[in-house]
Amino acid sequence: MTNRLQGKHVLITGASAGFGEACARAFAAHGAHLELWARRLDRLRQLKTELEGKYAIEIGIQKVDVRKREQVHVAAVALFERDWRVDVLVNNAGLASGLAPIYEGDLDDWDAMIDTNVKGLLFVTREILPSMVARDSGHVINVGSVAGSWIYPKGNVYNATKFAVRALTEAMSVDLFGTRVRVSSVDPGAAETEFSVVRFHGDVERAKKAYEGFQPLSAEDVADAVVYVANTPPDVMVTRLVLTPTAQRSPTMIHRKES
Active site residues per annotation: 158
Smallest separation, CB 191 to ligand NAP (Å): 4
Q: How far apart are CA 169 and CA 59, in angstroms?
A: 27
Shortest Å, Cβ 155 to ligand NAP: 11
Q: Closer to ligand NAP at the Cβ: 146 or 176?
A: 146
Burial track 1-10 (b if 16+ CB lie within 10 A, e otherwise) = eeeebeebbb
Residues lying near ligand NAP in the complex (CB under 6 A): 13-20, 38-40, 64-67, 92-95, 116, 120, 143, 145, 188, 190-191, 193-195, 198
Smallest gap from Cβ 64 to ligand NAP, in A, equals: 6
What's the alpha-carbon Rg for the chain, to the nearest Å?
18
DSSP 217: B
The whole-angstrom distance between residue 149's C-alpha and the CA centroid of its chain comes to 17
* Nearer Cβ to ligand NAP (18/155): 18
**Closest CB to ligand NAP among residues 80, 150:** 150
Helix, strand or coil, per DSSP, at residue 78: helix
Closest alpha carbon to 168 in 100, 120, 230: 120
Phi and psi at residue 243, to the nearest 5°:
-135, 135
Rounded least distance, CB 134 to ligand NAP, Å: 26
DSSP secondary structure code for residue 194 in this structure: S
| Run of H or E residues at 139 | strand 138-143
Nearer of residues 13 and 231 to ligand NAP, judged by Cβ = 13
